[in-house]
């Protein structure tokens, strides 16, 4: 007990000396001033956002003839937002609540508020979007392609402005996270629902900042349904989506009258950086939980309309034009597409249940895949000439394949399918020809 009293006395003396030191040099007053300025800046920004929202609503009412309403609003939230459109593809948008606040209490953030992000969280709850059937319009002729003008090309700007903009974007984005709860999108032929959707952003690197993006989605449900032309209410046929919202996932997927897709869990992480005045994806990692898919036969037996036939004719003419292009232009376009591929891509899926529903037979064909793994790597080594072909390496693993299942038995079972593809794609026609290596392992 005496030892505890001595420790308490020593702590009191040390805290008193620290308080005298802070008061002596005016650090406490400076801290209070800084906090007061931060509070005033936050208040001014919130007031500016509210005024901007009111001005934007007034402009939309006048120009787009939209009906906008808000039940209540406060310092950092908006509730009961409704937007109705009398014409166009958009029918209505309703938002339960939009709230901006700290991701964690200020006492838990501490000094990490300046070093670790995100700090603020934008939370959107009960976002419901309803689209109507678009009006049928007469076929419009495609405009003739514009002829290239002989104007002089603009001078390339320096990289300093682009780097400054990218630093500003990363600094601001790393402080904000997005949380979306209960997203429901309804169209005349399909419905989409997301229970929880989160986006977290963080920054790494000082001279060359990298924006780290993490997306988490739990779960995703999609329902497709054909509607008769006499039915205009887009909310009536989506009873399976209502089951999904209430958490009855088996009831939502146990259906034989429509096609549906259920993704229980998905996590995506990637790194964004700036290179050659463009924002590129450096590393991409995608992890998916179990997926259940129900497919109807009528999805694959649709008759092509007149517009699709015309589009096919246009595509055939475009293919003939593309075939007439020289190999150099084809290789250049291929390299541009490959340049958009991240350096590393990883995809892992735990399970896939695929059910095919034949028409007017009351049967179901079940198929199951245990896991799917895909890994892709892109590299461009340098040689003596300074330009080397781009090397692509792709590896896929598919395990525990069961086709045409009936209960616990299946007609065809495959333990594992592994493929390895390696390709060297030249940057110039005169360098080397395209080399590709393919290895297939079937067990």
Q: How far apart are CA 99 and CA 73, in angstroms?
A: 10
Confidence (pTM): 0.71
pLDDT at 268: 94
Q: How far apart are CA 253 and CA 381, in angstroms?
A: 49
Q: How far apart are CA 427 and CA 404, in angstroms?
A: 45
- If one compares 166 and 394, the residue with the highest pLDDT of the two is 394
Structural domain boundaries in the chain: 162-179+188-227+237-301, 346-443
Cβ-based neighbours of 172, under 8 Å, separated by 6 or more: none
| pLDDT digits 0-9 by tens, 340-365 | 888 899 999 989 998 887 766 667 78
- If one compares 201 and 111, the residue with the highest pLDDT of the two is 201
Q: Are 31 and 50 in contact (CB under 8 A)?
A: no
Q: How far apart are CA 241 and CA 192, in angstroms?
A: 8
Which range among 62-76, 237-251, 409-423 shows the weakest confidence by mean pLDDT? 237-251
Q: How far apart are CA 383 and CA 387, in angstroms?
A: 6
pLDDT at 168: 82
| pLDDT digits 0-9 by tens, 40-88 | 776 776 677 677 777 877 787 777 778 888 888 877 888 998 989 888 8
- Residue 1: pLDDT band by 50, 70, 90 thresholds? very low
pLDDT at 233: 45
């Amino acid at each position: 007990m005496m030892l505890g009293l001595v420790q308490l006395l020593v702590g009191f003396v040390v805290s008193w000396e620290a308080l005298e030191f802070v008061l002596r040099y005016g650090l406490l007053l400076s801290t209070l001033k800084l906090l007061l300025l931060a509070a005033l800046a936050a208040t001014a920004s919130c007031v500016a956002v509210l005024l901007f929202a009111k001005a934007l609503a007034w402009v939309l009412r006048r120009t787009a003839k939209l009906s906008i309403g808000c039940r209540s609003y406060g310092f950092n939230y908006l509730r009961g937002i409704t937007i109705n459109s009398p014409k166009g593809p958009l029918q209505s948008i309703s938002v339960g609540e939009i709230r901006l606040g700290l991701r964690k209490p200020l006492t838990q953030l501490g000094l990490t508020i300046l070093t670790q992000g995100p700090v603020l969280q934008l939370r959107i709850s009960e976002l419901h979007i309803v689209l109507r059937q678009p009006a049928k319009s007469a076929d419009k002729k495609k405009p003739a392609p514009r002829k290239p003008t002989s104007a002089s090309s603009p001078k390339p700007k320096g990289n300093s402005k682009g780097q400054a903009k990218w630093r500003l974007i990363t600094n601001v984005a790393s402080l904000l996270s997005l949380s979306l709860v209960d997203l429901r999108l309804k169209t005349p032929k399909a419905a989409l629902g997301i229970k929880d959707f989160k986006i977290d952003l963080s920054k790494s690197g000082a001279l060359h900042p990298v924006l780290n993006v993490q997306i988490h989605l739990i779960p995703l449900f999609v329902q497709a349904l054909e509607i008769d032309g006499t039915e205009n209410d887009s909310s009536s046929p989506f009873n399976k989506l209502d089951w999904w919202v209430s958490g009855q996932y088996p009831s939502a997927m146990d259906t034989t009258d429509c096609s549906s897709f259920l993704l229980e869990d998905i996590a995506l992480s990637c790194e964004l950086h700036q290179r050659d005045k463009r924002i590129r994806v450096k590393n991409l990692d995608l992890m998916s939980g179990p997926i259940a898919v129900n497919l109807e036969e009528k999805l694959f037996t649709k008759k092509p309309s007149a517009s699709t036939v015309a589009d096919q004719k246009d595509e055939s003419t475009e293919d003939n034009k593309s075939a007439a292009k020289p190999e150099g232009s084809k290789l250049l376009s291929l390299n541009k597409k490959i340049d958009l591929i991240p350096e590393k891509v990883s995809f892992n899926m735990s399970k896939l249940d695929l059910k095919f529903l034949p028409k007017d037979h009351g049967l179901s064909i079940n198929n199951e895949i245990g896991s799917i793994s895909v890994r892709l790597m892109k590299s461009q080594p340098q040689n003596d000439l300074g330009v080397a072909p781009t090397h692509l390496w792709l590896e896929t693993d598919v395990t525990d394949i069961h086709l045409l299942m009936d209960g616990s038995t299946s007609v065809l079972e495959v333990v594992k399918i592994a493929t390895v593809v390696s390709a060297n794609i030249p940057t110039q026609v005169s360098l080397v020809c395209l080399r590709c290596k393919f290895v297939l392992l079937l067990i």
